[in-house]
Amino acid sequence: MLSTLEKPNQTIDLDSPHNLTAQIGNTPLLHLAKTAAAHDLPNTVELYAKAEWFNPGGSVKDRAALNIIRVAEEDGLLRPGMTLLDSTSGNTGIAYAMLGAARGYKVKLTVPANASPERLSILRAYGAELVLTDPMEGSDGALVEARRLAAADPTLFYANQYNNNANWQAHYLTTGNEIWQQTNGRITHFVAGLGTSGTFTGTTRRLKELNPNIRSYAAQPDGPFNGLEGWKHMQTAIVPGIYDESLADENLTTRTEDAYAMARFLARHEGLFVGISSAAAVAAALTAARELEAGLVVTIMPDNGFKYLSERFWNEH
């Protein structure tokens, strides 16, 4: 028998300012002054990063998941008691599972079997049903399986984050505006990694509306076989439907080894324990910043390092 706390029997305002969803967004913008100095950037070039682990689900993906769910609710596609289905490498799934628990949805996720044990444990803690897919096929394998499951069961709500405009619109509505406000409109360059491409696409579109002279850099792994969790090598992957390659003023690549080294540097010198994609984004932002004589560069740190504690690179020197 569930207690009253476990099974509420009264109507709850899901969008109250005191509710979980109201805590998503408005994350801090951190000045990476030590990182800039250690990598010989001139004083006229400033380096900043959005600390997205301050979202309640621990990552930038809370923004997209919430907007996908809200739009589906408004369109009548998602109702309490239904099951939300999607593919994920971890963070979006955690956001779905958290919000599903809070808003009354079951969550079914296809996940590569080699996702970190920390992420799998978090997903199970929230009550998500997991379908583990071939690790050699990466996020694309999970995507193909989600499509198969959606086609086989029309009662599921297939969130389809790679092709859902509510994904990039979340960042158009929130992330881009936050960066503009937090830099007092001084941002000159924006750098973001490509996964679903929602963060890059939505933020870039908004920032370029606010100032067309802002330059945007899209970062991705340097090859199809890499350790950059959440990033896609677009030339060899299933390209997301929401990805617009014309938005990038320049494209950057990041080596897995450089991301690992940057994760250790940020932990040991900035006091920032960040995830692999966060470290890769900072490494990419440094690549862009080194070409500048002056400017204010902003990147996105999608999550912190707690979901990657089992990775061996933390102990390397």
DSSP letters, 227-271, are --TT---TTTS---TT--GGG-SEEEEE-HHHHHHHHHHIIIII-
How is the chain split into domains, by residue range? Answer: 20-59+165-315, 61-158
Place of tokens 């923004």: 63
Known active-site residue 277: yes
Q: Which residues partner with 47 through β-bridges?
A: 297
Between helices 117-125 and 91-103, what is the axis angle to 10°?
10
Q: Which CATH architecture has domain 20-59+165-315?
A: 3-Layer(aba) Sandwich (3.40)
Q: Of 314, 300, 190, whose CA–CA distance to 247 is shortest?
A: 190
Tokens of 14: 């899901």
The active-site residue, picked from 139, 277, 278, 307, is 277
pTM over 0.85: yes
Strands 83-87 and 157-158: parallel
- The fold of 61-158 is Rossmann fold (3.40.50)
Q: Do 20-59+165-315 and 61-158 come out as alike in CATH topology?
A: yes
Tokens of 220: 């991705």
The active-site residue, picked from 61, 106, 232, 307, is 61
Digitized pLDDT (tens) for each residue of the chain, 317 residues in all: 333 334 444 445 666 778 899 999 999 999 999 999 999 999 999 999 999 999 999 999 999 999 999 999 999 999 989 999 999 988 999 999 999 999 999 999 999 998 889 999 999 999 999 999 999 898 899 999 999 999 999 999 999 999 999 999 999 999 999 999 999 999 999 999 999 999 999 999 999 999 999 999 999 999 998 888 889 999 999 999 999 999 999 999 999 999 999 999 999 999 999 999 999 999 999 999 999 999 999 999 999 999 999 888 888 76
Known active-site residue 87: no
- Residue 86 · residue 93 · CB < 8 Å: yes
